[in-house]
Amino acid sequence: MEVCALIGPSGTGKSHRAIMVAHQTNCDIIIDDGLLIKGDQIIVGHTAKKQPTRIGAIKAALFLDGDFAVRAREALQAHNPKGVLILGTSLGMVQKIADTLGLPEISKIIDIKDVASPEEIKKARMNRTRFSRHVIPAPTMEVRKSFPGTLIDPLRIMIRKDKDKAVAKGWREQSVVRPTFTFYGKLTISESAVASIVTLAAKEVSGVKRPGKVHALQTEEGLIIDISPVLYFGIFLPGVSKKIQSVVKERVEYMTGLSIKSVNVIVKDIEFKK
């Protein structure tokens, strides 16, 4: 097993370039901020980006929780990767992670300046400090499944063809997350704001007389939305209800970045068109 490291100060774009660097170094597992990522799957981990405090984020990134470190070591043994890419802010940090997880000595060290231009690093820093945007090198659906309630946006990157190997180029998806802790404080979206989005979305659906009452509940698995619309007499109720579910889910996820567990449509009344 070969162990490589991608190092650079926080917010310089390491996670954004992790998939590309892993591809170039033939590493099939990425270790980033407390996550073990293989291909399109998070195989184990509790991302530091989801921790409520900065101290908690540091502990998660360094695998300082004993039980968590054991699970990570077991996952590495089970998957038996050809190569592992560790991301960190310094050589000392990646060496500590490698030691904690029982990995071989780091054989290759890549500095973020070797794979990103000064302009790209400057832009990455701005996205981190001004907008509190963090990248997880895993698809949005995988991140939503593992970390419901986190604000998430998709981000696609191009993997170029390797000149020496028959590896076709193609798109790979990453995720941009806005964690619970930020430089400016905590970001929350109230139930009333979600309800307003649901109401406006439901009004777009043909056959809806009034959106009715809306209730949104945040759970560990994601948002549960209940809506009780008044529909017009004569329409196909299951069809309109399904359309409401689809439109509401799309609008709420797009506008808030939150994960939706379910949209429950309860038709309690119908009215004639005037």
Q: How confident is the model at residue 148 (pLDDT cuts 50, 70, 90)?
A: low
Angle at 181 between CA 177 and CA 185, to 5 degrees: 120
Q: How confident is the model at residue 17 (pLDDT cuts 50, 70, 90)?
A: confident
What is the model's pLDDT at position 181? 45
pTM above 0.85, yes or no: no
Whether the Cβ atoms of residue 111 and residue 8 lie closer than 8 Å to each other: yes
Residue 27 burial (C-beta neighbours within 10 Å; 0-12, 13-18, 19+): buried
Q: What integer is the mean pLDDT of 243-268?
A: 88
Query: Among 1.10.287, 3.40.50, 1.10.730, 3.30.310, what is the CATH number of 2-178?
Result: 3.40.50
Q: Domain 191-271 carries which CATH code?
A: 3.30.70.1350
Angle at 172 between CA 160 and CA 97, to 5 degrees: 95
Q: In whole angstroms, give the CA distance from residue 222 to residue 148.
A: 5
Higher-pLDDT residue of 180, 116: 116
What is the model's pLDDT at position 124? 82
Convert the pLDDT of each residue in 189-222 to its tens digit: 788 888 999 999 999 999 999 999 999 988 767 7
Domain spans, the chain: 2-178, 191-271
Q: In whole angstroms, give the CA distance from residue 130 to residue 181.
A: 13
Q: What integer is the mean pLDDT of 130-137?
A: 64
- Dihedral sign computed on CA atoms, order 129, 135, 136, 140: positive
